[in-house]
Amino acid sequence: MGLLSDPAVKAGVALLIMTVLSVAAFFLVARLRDYTSGDWDPSADGPLNLEEMRLKGDISEEEFRTIQAASRPHSADGEFEGEQDSNKESNSSE
């Protein structure tokens, strides 16, 4: 016990313990973050939640269509991709 009576040794051991605990906490938090962030995909839940809200009556049919239209990706020329596809089909059938 004579070795632990020296203040420099006590400080070194305390610093070593704090470092090990900090590294362990860092890896634990990083692992939990990766685990929880990988479970949730907001783009996958969006349309289903809107459909549920519409079916429950929380939003009207008009609100549902407005939100659905606003969330569709736009092409480079400003048209909705769905409109662009339907325009191509109508042009090709002529």
Cα–Cα distance, 37 to 15 (Å, whole number): 32
Cα–Cα distance, 24 to 69 (Å, whole number): 47
Cα–Cα distance, 81 to 74 (Å, whole number): 6
Residue 45 has a CB neighbour count (10 Å cut-off) of: 11
Q: Would you say 73 and 81 are in contact if contact means Cβ atoms under 8 Å apart?
A: yes
Q: 81 and 53 in one domain? A: yes
Q: What is the residue range of 14's domain?
A: 3-39
Q: 83 and 62 in one domain? A: yes
pLDDT exceeds 60 at position 92: no
Q: 77 and 50 in one domain? A: yes
Q: Please tell me whether residue 86 adopts helix, strand or coil conformation.
A: helix
Q: 19 and 52 in one domain? A: no
How many domains, in total, are found in the chain?
2
pLDDT exceeds 60 at position 68: yes
**69 contact partners, CB below 8 Å, separation of at least 6:** 80
- What tens digit of pLDDT does each residue of 5-49 get? 889 999 999 999 999 999 999 999 988 887 666 655 555 555 668
Question: pTM for the whole thing?
Answer: 0.37
Q: 88 and 46 in one domain? A: yes
